[in-house]
């Protein structure tokens, strides 16, 4: 059993950056097509990261390098734990710790744009952290366990009992995947006022590590989407892949349709969606049990 868990964790560590990089490339291609442009090749993210790795790295202080490195390590650990079949609660707690490391890296530079981006990142965490914890609770209510290995062997997929949690999680993925209208802290769209916000003072290999960490994080988030659909029926794996593809395309579509909003709007809208969908679903589960 432990041998198989280690193998799955190693597969995630090796394959996630490849899959995440390709998905980042597909995201660019989809966005370009929606805007009537040719766009870059699918493998462009790999070229970009390779270029960053070979550039000179300028650091404000050595602690910045430490925080970025720990951010990548925690992100990899989080995904490896999930795909190895570990505890969902520990997965989300470790994920929160990785985000804190990135925020600390930005704060450590004392740059105005980095600090502004770090403050906005904390606001974004206030929006999506409650939903990630509720997802773990929802899986427990649906199938009686926090362990991923046990959740995927149940006779009924979790989506049947916790559709509200699924809607809430897909909504906060807009923030987690840094899509407009909630891309407040890193400003992936160049017309925004913060340059690159959270990552403004990162360069060279440090910035490359952040990009790679985001690839790992993307695979993890979409893996959780798939977990809603997987049960002991092998055909459920196909439904999970279809759901992941639909959600990924939907997030890219939303990114290209909506302008960025202010943080107050983000807080109000996100918490409203969480309360209406996940809160109602949780209330119904309590009543039925």
**What residue segments make up the domains of the chain, in order of their start?**
2-288
pLDDT at position 281 is: 93
| Average of per-residue pLDDT across 19-26 | 96
213 vs 115, which has greater pLDDT?
Answer: 213
pLDDT at position 30 is: 92
| Average of per-residue pLDDT across 213-230 | 96
For residue 140, give every residue at least 6 positions away whose Cβ sits within 8 Å of its Cβ, in sequence order, or none.
Answer: 88, 146
Measured between alpha carbons, how far is 17 from 241 in angstroms, rounded to an integer? 18
Q: What average pLDDT does the chain have?
A: 90
Percent of all residues in the chain with a pLDDT value above 90, rounded to a whole number: 65
Percent of all residues in the chain with a pLDDT value above 70, rounded to a whole number: 96
| Average of per-residue pLDDT across 271-289 | 89
pLDDT at position 187 is: 66
Question: Is 37's pLDDT higher than 90?
Answer: no
Over the range 3-12, which residues count as b (16 or more CB within 10 Å of their CB) and which as e?
Answer: eebeebbeeb
Mapped to the 3 state alphabet, what secondary structure does the chain carry?
CHHHHHHHHHHHHHHHHHHHHHHHHHHHHHHHHHCCCCCCCCCHHHHHHHHHHCCCCCCCCHHHHHHHHHHHHHHHHHHHHHHCCCEHHHHHHHHHHHHHHHHHHHHCCCCHHHHHHHHHHHHHHHHHHHHHHHHHHHHHHHHCCCEHHHHCCCCCCHHHCCHHHHHHHHHHHHHHCCCCCCCCCCCCCCCCCCCCHHHCCCCHHHHHHHHHHHHHHHHHHHHHHHHCCCCCCCCHHHHHHHHHHHHHHHHHHHHHHCCCCCHHHHHHHHHHHHHHHHHHHHHHHHHHC
pLDDT at position 270 is: 94
Q: Tell me: the pLDDT tens digits for 181-193?
A: 888 887 665 555 5
Residue 41: which pLDDT band, with cuts at 50, 70 and 90? very high
Q: Tell me: the pLDDT tens digits for 140-199?
A: 988 888 999 999 998 999 999 999 999 999 999 999 998 988 888 876 655 555 567 788
């Amino acid at each position: 059993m432990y041998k198989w868990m280690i193998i799955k964790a190693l597969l995630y560590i090796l394959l996630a950056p490849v899959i995440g990089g390709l998905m980042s490339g597909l995201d660019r291609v989809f966005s370009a097509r929606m805007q009537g442009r040719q766009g870059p090749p699918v493998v462009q993210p790999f070229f970009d990261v390779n270029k960053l790795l070979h550039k000179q790295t300028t650091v404000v202080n050595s602690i910045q390098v430490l925080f970025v490195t720990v951010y990548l390590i925690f992100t990899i650990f989080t995904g490896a734990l999930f795909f190895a079949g570990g505890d969902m609660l520990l997965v989300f707690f470790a994920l929160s710790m990785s985000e804190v490391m990135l925020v600390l890296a930005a704060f450590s530079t004392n740059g105005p744009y980095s600090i502004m981006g770090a403050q906005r990142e904390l606001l974004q965490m206030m929006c999506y952290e409650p939903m990630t914890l509720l997802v773990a609770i929802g899986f427990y209510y649906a199938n009686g366990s926090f362990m991923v290995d046990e959740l995927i062997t149940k006779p009924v997929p979790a989506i049947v009992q916790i559709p509200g949690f699924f809607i809430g999680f897909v909504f906060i993925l807009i923030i987690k995947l840094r899509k407009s209208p909630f891309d407040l802290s890193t400003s992936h769209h160049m017309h925004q006022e913060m340059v690159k916000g959270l990552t403004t003072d990162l360069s060279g290999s440090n910035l490359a590590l952040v990009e790679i960490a985001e690839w790992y994080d993307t695979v993890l988030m979409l893996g959780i989407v798939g977990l809603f659909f997987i049960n002991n029926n092998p055909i459920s794996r196909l439904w999970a892949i279809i759901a992941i593809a639909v959600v990924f395309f939907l997030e890219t579509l939303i990114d290209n349709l909506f302008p960025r909003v202010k943080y107050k709007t983000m807080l109000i809208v996100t918490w409203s969606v969480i309360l209406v969908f996940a809160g109602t679903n949780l209330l119904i589960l309590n009543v039925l049990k």
